A and B are shown apart, each in its own frame.
Chain A
């Protein structure tokens, strides 16, 4: 595991001292949002999985898989959206694997997640050596931003409306997920499976099927986050590019109390600490970059410490469900 932390050359990084505070704030907000998007997708994926009772430590591996597949897919097809689609499918497959291990085989969910992360790290590193040789490493086709008319001219928050389709998708996903989870019977089913699987089973709900679906979704979403990281943010793939974002996403999930809005806000916080790197350099404060790189992880750690005991997970989280009386 290397911390190959690449500082992205975002078009929004100021090349000179910010002209005024408003530009600075606007840039900083935009950068924070961009950096928090991969986290947010992974964390929302984790939300689906964990709300249904399946611990998903494998988010990191799923994110990395998505990153690699999106890079390879875009590289071979020349079309970034194909890369995105391929990535989501790959992530869903990894999710399927985790679901099979955790739900059907009832392997310890921590071990399953870890195994997925280790395997993904090795396989993507191997794959990237095959696909991206020295001659072929070039900038990948990216995804452009679409400015929303009128809204994108707003002061400070205007930059929020000058993002690409994936980010807009995230903006929609948050209220959608909240509504789904708390206002529909589908969401109720999901939550029941995570809190009282025995009762849900008795009520006729297929616990296994719900959990499978949720974990597959979590894989797809995490992979989408990885695809965003590669295709929109840095525009190439290196080994270990995920750099622990999957774990920070888990911290965000706990910090956000397994609620979509809280989780994404936590991701924004962590993204903001990562965005500090660029801003501080703009001010020539001479802080070594490693100290800044540490910030998101330290923040995530402090968030967990501060919250311990007050944030309760879904009751059945991490416990494999065994149907009684049905033989096997």
Chain B
């Protein structure tokens, strides 16, 4: 399979770096999956991946490429941070959902803009989402360096959010927060939506054949705007999770490329939601184990990024080869 091919090339890269690939991979996976703390770390990293890739997948089903996950994550983080920083006096049970919704809305807005531009003005959503990524990243960077900056902080970050806004920790003594539950819940809802509701059918119809869908009475522009907003919202939830559950502050550049991994995951899963969860977990394990691999085996973390990129490449090739055999 394509993942195997990418891992093979990765092994080659690791070997170039002067380390035994077998030893490196062994460390990577045992730390990430069998070790209690390592697994907790894996889950923590899986949560944003799962949520964002869910969004990318939904957009993909409607034929839209949402490359803006990164920017939407940042906007979602901003939205949730705004609630967490400036709204006080509410109990957790209200504040947490409020912050999450705020994150969803901010991310959703960031997805709606390219969605609208594509649906109404015909502007290619790949470029618009990509440009919005950079804009969002810089916006958050500016905000936490200036108006929202913690006084006398050594580097740009915001003051801590209200304690009542924090997401509960699931595994004791780890950083694993409830974000993963949000992700799993969202996955179930999406599965249900596609399997049993007319909306799911509409989305897939637009993705398969927009012209036929229009004759069937489905509004294509509205569907496009809808899926892009939804995708942005889910990515926003991922960002909210990072702020509310992991860091408890808004940092600049807090996303190590989750938005781009999500694209790879969504393409890899071939529309299968169970596969989406598993592959998100795999990527989460890769990221979680990578830092350990660097510490104990001396392999640079960047190997993992290279492997991820190559995986997409090989998947794209294998997908097309399969289609031709039909």
Contact = CB atoms under 8 A, between A and B. Distances in A.
Interface in A240-255: 243-244, 247-248, 250-251, 254
B260 A118 contact: yes
Interface string A43-78: 000000000000001000000000000000000000
Interface string A248-278: 1011001000000000000000000000000
Interface of B: 13, 16-17, 65, 67, 70, 117, 121-124, 126-128, 130-135, 137-139, 141-142, 145-146, 253, 257, 259-260, 263-264, 267, 300, 302-310, 312-313, 315-317, 319-321
A291 B138 contact: yes
Q: Which of B131, B133, B259, B300 lies at the interface centre, i.e. has the most chain A CB atoms within 10 A of its CB?
A: B131
B105 to A, nearest CB: 21
Given A126-B300, A301-B135, A118 B264 contact: yes
Contacts of B263: 114, 118
B117 to A, nearest CB: 6
A115 B65 CA distance: 13
Nearest to B6: A119
B139 A294 contact: yes
Given A3-B141, A115-B316, A239-B302, 16 more contacts: A114-B312, A115-B315, A123-B309, A126-B13, A129-B300, A247-B127, A247-B130, A251-B127, A290-B145, A297-B135, A298-B131, A301-B132, A304-B117, A304-B124, A305-B123, A309-B121
Interface stretch (A83-91, A100-108, A149-157): A100-108
Contacts of A80: none
A119 B310 contact: yes
Contacts of B267: 111
A18 B219 CA distance: 57
8 contacts: A111-B312, A115-B315, A119-B306, A119-B313, A123-B310, A251-B131, A298-B135, A304-B117
Given A108-B316, A115-B313, A298-B135, A308 B306 contact: no
B306 A122 contact: yes
B316 A101 contact: yes
Interface residues of A, number: 47
Contacts of A11: none
A300 B260 contact: no
Contacts of B126: 57, 110, 114
Contacts of B260: 1, 118, 121
| CB-based closest 4 A-B pairs | A122-B306, A119-B309, A118-B309, A308-B121
B88 to A, nearest CB: 28
Contact of A105 (B128, B132, B308, B321): B321
A105 B130 contact: no
Contacts of A247: 127, 130-131
A298 B127 CA distance: 12
B138 A125 contact: no
Contacts of A112: 316
Contacts of A114: 65, 67, 126, 263, 312
A297 B131 contact: yes
